[in-house]
Amino acid sequence: MRGPPPEPTAHILFQQAIAEGRLPLKAGATDPTLYFALDQANGKNRFSCFRYENGVVTAFVTFVQLAPRDGKQVLQIGYEVPEHLRGQGRAKEAVTASLVELQHFMNVDVEFSDFIVEAIIDNENVASQHVASACISATPDSIVDAFTGRPSRQYVKHFATGDMA
């Protein structure tokens, strides 16, 4: 007996929602080949960006709104690339493009120009650490993830009016 099938990952769930017409594709303002969606996940606002090629989500980046910290809006980032496309720089490229699109959205559409993006990366997820170091912060803090209880690294980047990702 093999047990239950694995839970679908984020990029698969988004791909299904697109195929079923539940998630309309909106081209990004800063990069028309980057698509985005606004919705809610577990009662929290979510801004998701993705690359979509030939009917397939090829890179997925999501920002979930957390409680404000020091008077600033905090968004936690997560990202994923389908396993067969990993190791090609797609995550780093998608995160970089998504940060630019997020900043545009926050500055122009919601007029929220001062905010923080954070990534919590498990110590064993070396590939995601490389992406976070390149795109968010080269100096993470060592923490214990409050959700998983596992040793992790916290990467934080502050965005202020006029900054570019």
pLDDT confidence of residue 112: 66
pLDDT confidence of residue 24: 73
pLDDT confidence of residue 106: 82
Determine the angle formed by the axes of helices 126-135 and 90-104, rounding to 10 degrees.
40
Q: What residue segments make up the domains of the chain, in order of their start? A: 10-159
Q: pLDDT 10s per residue in the chain (165 long)?
A: 344 444 557 777 777 887 888 877 788 999 999 998 888 878 888 888 999 888 788 999 999 999 988 888 899 999 999 999 999 999 999 999 999 999 888 887 776 668 999 999 999 999 999 999 999 999 999 999 998 999 999 999 998 865 544
> Exposed, middle or buried: residue 34 (CB in 10 Å: 0-12, 13-18, 19+)?
buried
pTM: 0.86
pLDDT confidence of residue 15: 79
CATH class of the region 10-159 = alpha beta
pLDDT confidence of residue 2: 41
**Residue in 40, 51, 38 with CA at minimum distance from that of residue 11:** 51
pLDDT confidence of residue 161: 61
Contacts of 35 (CB under 8 A, 6+ apart): 25, 26, 27, 28, 49, 50, 51, 52
pLDDT confidence of residue 42: 82
**What phi and psi values does residue 137 have, to the nearest 5 degrees?**
-160, 135
